A and B are shown apart, each in its own frame.
Chain A
Amino acid sequence: MKCRVCGKPANINLRSYKTALCEEDFIAFLEKRVSATIGKYRLIDEADRPIVAVSGGKDSLSLWYMMNKLGYVSDGIYIDLGIEGYSERSLEKVRQMADTLRRRVYVFHVRNALQKGIDGVARVIRRPTCSACGTIKRYIMNRVCIDKGYTVLATGHNLDDEASALFGNVLYWKREYLWKKNVVLEGRGEHLVKKIKPFFLCSEREIAAYAIMKGIDYIYEECPYSEGAKTLVYKEMLNRIEESSPGTKIMFVKGYLKMLKEKGDEKEDGRESRYCLRCGYPTFSDKCSFCWLLDKFGTEYDVEFDQYN
């Protein structure tokens, strides 16, 4: 196979784009798409101070690397979930990238805050591990932006993440979640920071290829709690469809975005916005889920971050 741009031997075949590209041209192709996404959906303004939520995996590290390369100078936030072995190894990868980019990374240690790893936390509040992890991550990522003055939070969610979540929401007709996904989720003043997903239209395969080509050293291991997750089954299914009909995933997600735009700003739930009386985070009651979690632990802990670089 030859590169469609320069004719040299191709390094990747992109069946959904009916093209094959060499390393150099693929990197330019993917960076251009991310740049276009940032521009089209107005993800980052010139005055913005972006921060990237990093986990040590291919998506977040590639995003952090690419944003800095594209001129969107950004620091990182890493949440140490206290998972033995896995958390230390992923933090190491994050530190390496921070050194390469010469950017700062904030680290929040769940163990310092709650004296337990994420599985222990989940047991105390009697919720599944991934649910406890989600609550903490969403809160802390928002909190670092508010406390440290970042105006945009970028996450490495990719096309496959979005397609599989959408697939799940459609399969079970989860109307309360169905129309909530977007490339950008606007903030709410000093309560909630704007969230962006520059890789919304980039597949996992493309991002992994980018990481390999750029020599980005990421953690190959999976989070031990992700085993048996439903989204992995959906991803597998979608990839099987993609194998026989290339381009299905991107059509699915682009079609969703188009319908979302047509739908406009109709509010799905009529509930008014309320904010946590203690910390100001959006909530449906007087206390946000994170402050509720702290109460369960009987701790008056104030959120603190370690800084690296």
Chain B
Amino acid sequence: MLVYLTLNVEHRTLNRFPLTPNGFFDIRYTNYDILIADSPDALYNISFICYELAMKVECEGNAYSFEKPMLASKLLEQLSLSRETHLVVVNGKLVTEDHRIDRDDEVKLIRVVSGG
């Protein structure tokens, strides 16, 4: 069964919508107004993937985007990078591994190893 839910809210509000206490729903939506979920419980248990606010990560000329906020250490892990070889710069400032990166942050991963 499909539940159609219409929302007319700003990106920010969407982003802060309460998350589900018992995990995720696979929710896909075609635009910012219409949400499509595959269970009636979706009305209560909604977690949003807001592509507009995805975390943008730049690393060695490649661009990645992540949908969930996460710790800097987790981000390095996801890209199979070591904290010894890459520094994490969030919005122009260097951060430690335990820094929580938000979805609207701009992240640069800087490789420190050079030379031959």
Q: Residues on A close to B: CB < 8 A?
A: 1, 10-13, 20, 23, 57-59, 130, 160-161, 204-205, 207-209, 212-213, 220, 222-223, 225-227, 229, 231-232, 235-236, 239-240, 242-243
User: Separation in Å of the A240 CB from the closest CB of chain B?
Assistant: 7
Q: How far is the CA of A231 from the CA of B96 in the complex (A)?
A: 27
CB-defined contacts of B112 to chain A, threshold 8 Å: 58, 204-205, 207-208
Q: How far is the CA of A1 from the CA of B99 in the complex (A)?
A: 8
Q: B113 touching A23 by the CB < 8 A rule? A: no
Q: A1 touching B84 by the CB < 8 A rule? A: no
Select from chain B the residue with minimum beta-carbon distance to A156: B115
Q: B84 touching A232 by the CB < 8 A rule? A: no
User: Separation in Å of the A199 CB from the closest CB of chain B?
Assistant: 12
Select from chain B the residue with minimum beta-carbon distance to A57: B114
Residues A20 and B96 in contact in the complex (CB < 8 Å), given A209-B87, A239-B82, A239-B85: yes
Q: B82 touching A205 by the CB < 8 A rule? A: no
CB-defined contacts of A235 to chain B, threshold 8 Å: 113
Q: How far is the CA of A58 from the CA of B114 in the complex (A)?
A: 9
Pairs A–B under 8 Å by Cβ, sample size 14: A1-B96, A1-B97, A13-B83, A13-B97, A23-B94, A58-B114, A207-B112, A208-B110, A226-B116, A232-B115, A239-B84, A239-B113, A243-B82, A243-B83
User: Separation in Å of the A157 CB from the closest CB of chain B?
Assistant: 9
Select from chain A the residue with minimum beta-carbon distance to B85: A239
Q: B116 touching A223 by the CB < 8 A rule? A: yes
Q: How far is the CA of A207 from the CA of B87 in the complex (A)?
A: 11
Q: A160 touching B113 by the CB < 8 A rule? A: yes
Q: Residues on B close to A: CB < 8 A?
A: 82-85, 87, 89, 93-99, 110-116
Residues A10 and B82 in contact in the complex (CB < 8 Å), given A58-B114, A209-B87, A231-B115: no
Q: How far is the CA of A242 from the CA of B115 in the complex (A)?
A: 19
User: Separation in Å of the A82 CB from the closest CB of chain B?
Assistant: 18
CB-defined contacts of B96 to chain A, threshold 8 Å: 1, 10-13, 20
Select from chain B the residue with minimum beta-carbon distance to A10: B96
CB-defined contacts of A59 to chain B, threshold 8 Å: 114
Q: A243 touching B94 by the CB < 8 A rule? A: no
Residues A226 and B115 in contact in the complex (CB < 8 Å), given A13-B96, A208-B110: yes
Known contacts A13-B96, A57-B115, A239-B84; 20 additional CB pairs below 8 A are A1-B97, A11-B95, A11-B96, A23-B93, A57-B114, A58-B112, A58-B114, A130-B116, A205-B84, A208-B87, A209-B94, A213-B94, A222-B114, A222-B115, A227-B116, A231-B115, A231-B116, A236-B85, A236-B113, A239-B113
User: Separation in Å of the B77 CB from the closest CB of chain A?
Assistant: 12
Pick from A12, A130, A161: contact of B94, CB below 8 A: A12
Q: B87 touching A232 by the CB < 8 A rule? A: no
Select from chain B the residue with minimum beta-carbon distance to A213: B94
CB-defined contacts of B83 to chain A, threshold 8 Å: 13, 243
CB-defined contacts of A236 to chain B, threshold 8 Å: 85, 113
Q: How far is the CA of A205 from the CA of B85 in the complex (A)?
A: 7
CB-defined contacts of B116 to chain A, threshold 8 Å: 130, 222-223, 225-227, 229, 231-232
Q: How far is the CA of A161 from the CA of B87 in the complex (A)?
A: 18
User: Separation in Å of the A257 CB from the closest CB of chain B?
Assistant: 21
CB-defined contacts of B85 to chain A, threshold 8 Å: 205, 236, 239
CB-defined contacts of A1 to chain B, threshold 8 Å: 96-99
CB-defined contacts of A225 to chain B, threshold 8 Å: 116
CB-defined contacts of A229 to chain B, threshold 8 Å: 115-116
| Nearest 7 interchain pairs by C-beta | A229-B116, A226-B116, A208-B112, A239-B84, A1-B96, A11-B94, A13-B96
Pick from A20, A23, A212, A243: contact of B87, CB below 8 A: A212
User: Separation in Å of the B43 CB from the closest CB of chain A?
Assistant: 39
